[in-house]
Amino acid sequence: MDLPDFSFNYLQNKIKTTKEMAIRGSLIKSLIDLRGTIVSEPDAVKAQREVLKNLLEKAKDTAFGKFYKFNEILKAENIESAFAKDVPYFDYNILNERWWSQIQEGAEDITWPGKPHYFALSSGTTGKSSKKIPVTKEMIESIRNAGIKQVGALSNFDLEPEFFEKEIMMLGSSTDLHHEGDHEEGEISGISASNIPYWFRSYYKPGEEIAQIEDWDERVARIAENAKNWDIGALSGIPSWMELMLKKVIEYHNVKHIHEVWPNLQVYASGGVAFEPYEKSFNALLGKPVTVIDTYLASEGFLAIQDRPDTHSMKLILDNGIYFEFVPFEPEYINQDGSLTEDAPVVPLSDVEEEKDYVLLISTVSGTWRYIIGDTIKFTNKEKHEIRITGRTKFFLNVVGSQLSVNKMNDAVQELEEKFDIKIPEFTIAAKRFEDGEFYHSWYLGTDTETSEDELAEALDESLKNANKNYDVARSKALKGVKVTKVPAAIFPEWSGANKKKGGQVKMEKVMNEEKFAEFEAFVKKELKTNKY
């Protein structure tokens, strides 16, 4: 059920005319609470079937829709099965080479009707060159709708009315988009921020002028300079870059923690990666606890939100222009480059199992079809359709049968933090053959601890043995052991800056192949010689 149209208009008019900030906050909270009571949850399977039907109907006359006979799929008794049978899996390289490259050259009606006004540049985590993902007007609307759902979910959290008066620091990419032919390009956070509703702009910080600054360091410096002019109640962005921004603000104003600058900060909407590895170092920047809310906004769409407290799980948004499919994340279905084998089975939403890893496929209103987004997820609550991101298909370390996923690595690093009372906000790992001819897992940990590398290696090894039987078996055979190298955490964002760029959607690679790892090790040696750490 939708809210009556008058409610949003009424709220906006009251915000514009009232002088009392407390009244404004109460009005917003009341509207959100009201929305929470009258908006019903859709039937998940029915909602997803309707999404798929609408996608196929809308795209049936495109080049892609004609090639894969969407008209025939729509006539099938079971549309979901026919779609899965007749349309293959696509990774970015194949979909771009065969279809999206035509759009970039000016062609219309290729994978979605018309031409997209935007392309999202996804620098990603596993490649150096940017991917270009089409972003249609329907996707902009989908992202807005997801944002409204996220705001509506705040009624489930214990937030005072005063919170809704405060400003929101959205630390994304530059909103200074680049014109390329008949479209604009930028990262999805920059595209989203450049399309925020007019009525929201008074809440949005750092504001249009600063948000357009392309250089990350300059943008953060301007944020630090202006920080005390703003009354920030919420933060939104990727944890690694958010931490660096907060540190810069704290340093600039010579204070002990961020609440001395923004005393009303109550909420952090985290996204892009799992928050847990950053939790300890992030909390060290606070003067009091904040509510952390996980979100799942990718270049391909806004997929899930955390809609209740006391969990890090996120609810899939099932009625918003994105159709989901799930492939069991098993070694026999994953190629070396992270793509899927042709015989990899697909599992519909109704048949997923809890606590089992799946490769996520999406089809969307931007013209992505059965697209391997690259993330792996698990369902933590099937009834509520809640998931957690467990890693990346290319971040699966299976050299000599160790079968180590990112969530297991994150858990092991968190155990180190607890065991030794230290902070390790960043790490990366590779399976590497050392001088003795044996394979080791070589870890670089971003930490300033005095704990010895041997102690850390032993603790990591034990943690992974206890958590993963395949790792334990591999350790008794071909995997010789674990080696740890401690480096300053600040080296990791410098590596990102040297290879891609700083800020925005850029995430640190957690797993590298031997070639990339050799480049990283050479970079670390060079950086340490500068004596700037």
Q: What pLDDT, on the 0 to 100 scale, is given for residue 344?
A: 92
pLDDT digits (tens, 9 = 90+) for 150-180: 888 888 898 888 888 899 999 988 888 888 8
pLDDT above 90 coverage of the chain, percent: 55
Q: What is the mean pLDDT of the chain?
A: 86
Q: Are 483 and 457 in contact (CB under 8 A)?
A: yes
Instruction: Give the angle subtended at the CA of 288 by the CAs of 380 and 507, to the nearest 5°.
Output: 50
Q: What pLDDT, on the 0 to 100 scale, is given for residue 181?
A: 83
Q: Are 109 and 174 in contact (CB under 8 A)?
A: no
Using the predicted structure, report yes or no on whether residue 90 has a pLDDT greater than 80. yes
E-strand ranges in 187-342 read 204-205, 232-237, 267-271, 291-298, 301-305, 314-316, 322-328
Using the predicted structure, report yes or no on whether residue 283 has a pLDDT greater than 90. yes
Q: What pLDDT, on the 0 to 100 scale, is given for residue 196?
A: 81
Q: What pLDDT, on the 0 to 100 scale, is given for residue 6?
A: 35
Euclidean distance between CA atoms 343 and 349, whole angstroms: 19
pLDDT digits (tens, 9 = 90+) for 103-156: 998 999 999 999 999 999 875 544 456 789 999 999 999 999 998 888 888 888
Q: What pLDDT, on the 0 to 100 scale, is given for residue 19?
A: 45
Q: What pLDDT, on the 0 to 100 scale, is given for residue 293?
A: 94
| Better pLDDT: 436 or 66 | 66
Using the predicted structure, report yes or no on whether residue 30 has a pLDDT greater than 60. no
pLDDT digits (tens, 9 = 90+) for 212-271: 898 888 999 999 999 999 999 999 998 888 999 999 999 999 999 999 999 999 999 998
pLDDT digits (tens, 9 = 90+) for 382-435: 999 999 988 787 765 655 555 677 778 888 999 999 999 999 999 999 888 888
* 289 alpha-carbon distance from chain centroid: 23
Q: What pLDDT, on the 0 to 100 scale, is given for residue 3?
A: 38
Q: Are 204 and 166 in contact (CB under 8 A)?
A: no
Q: Are 364 and 336 in contact (CB under 8 A)?
A: no
Residue with tokens 């009303």: 264
Query: Which class is domain 41-393?
Result: alpha beta
Q: Which residues contact 129 (CB under 8 A, 6 or more apart)?
A: none
Sort strands 291-298 and 301-305 into parallel, antiparallel or unpaired: antiparallel
End-to-end CA distance of the chain: 55
Euclidean distance between CA atoms 296 and 320, whole angstroms: 14
Angle between helices 79-86 and 44-59 (to 10 degrees): 50
Euclidean distance between CA atoms 530 and 533, whole angstroms: 8
pLDDT digits (tens, 9 = 90+) for 338-384: 788 888 999 999 999 999 999 999 999 999 999 999 889 999 999 99
Q: State the average pLDDT over residues 42-53.
A: 93
Using the predicted structure, report yes or no on whether residue 520 has a pLDDT greater than 90. yes
Q: Are 241 and 502 in contact (CB under 8 A)?
A: yes
Q: State the average pLDDT over residues 474-492.
A: 86
Residue 244, token pair as written in the block? 């660096």
Residue 390, token pair as written in the block? 């467990």
Closest CA to 425 of 502, 496, 513, 488: 488
pLDDT range class, residue 41, cuts 50, 70, 90 = low
Euclidean distance between CA atoms 73 and 83, whole angstroms: 6
- Global pTM reads 0.80
* H helical segments located in 178-334: 188-193, 208-211, 216-226, 239-253, 276-283
